[in-house]
Amino acid sequence: GAVVSQHPSWVICKSGTSVKIECRSLDFQATTMFWYRQFPKQSLMLMATSNEGSKATYEQGVEKDKFLINHASLTLSTLTVTSAHPEDSSFYICSARDQGQGTDTQYFGPGTRLTVL
């Protein structure tokens, strides 16, 4: 199946700093990628939809100036958490749309655990 990677797998940062998380589709091109956040014992919550070459679409309640998304190529989307605070500590997961070989579904990355001190 299609493979999606994320980097880093975990990161610890100080409050007020910015953190960049990368999402890559390794063996397919993805015009659309999605970013989710998951708190402990809770389900995934969609944050934004990232389309290659255009601005991301954010879900209601998600601050676009705080969670910067860039989808500059067909295989890479980045999420930057700006001025991170402890309440931003969470598990961030991306997914990428695979439209190849008669399929059209989303494959998920392994996630990035962010801890803000």
Asked if 7 touches another protein (CB under 8 A), the answer is: no
Give the shortest CB-2-to-another protein separation in angstroms.
9
Given the complex with another protein, which of 79 and 94 has the nearer CB atom?
A: 94
Q: Per CB under 8 A, which of residues 15..34 are in contact with another protein?
A: 32, 34
Q: Per CB under 8 A, which of residues 55..84 are in contact with another protein?
A: 59
Write the DSSP assignment of 2-70 as a string of letters: --EEEE-SEEEE-TT--EEEEEEESSS--SEEEEEEE-TTS--EEEEEEETTS--EEPTT--TTTEEEE
Contact 5, 94 (CB under 8 A): no
Q: Per CB under 8 A, which of residues 91..110 are in contact with another protein?
A: 91, 93-95, 97-99, 103-110
| Amino acid at position 104, single letter | D
Residues that bind another protein (CB under 8 A): 1, 4, 6, 32, 34, 36, 43-46, 49, 59, 91, 93-95, 97-99, 103-111, 113
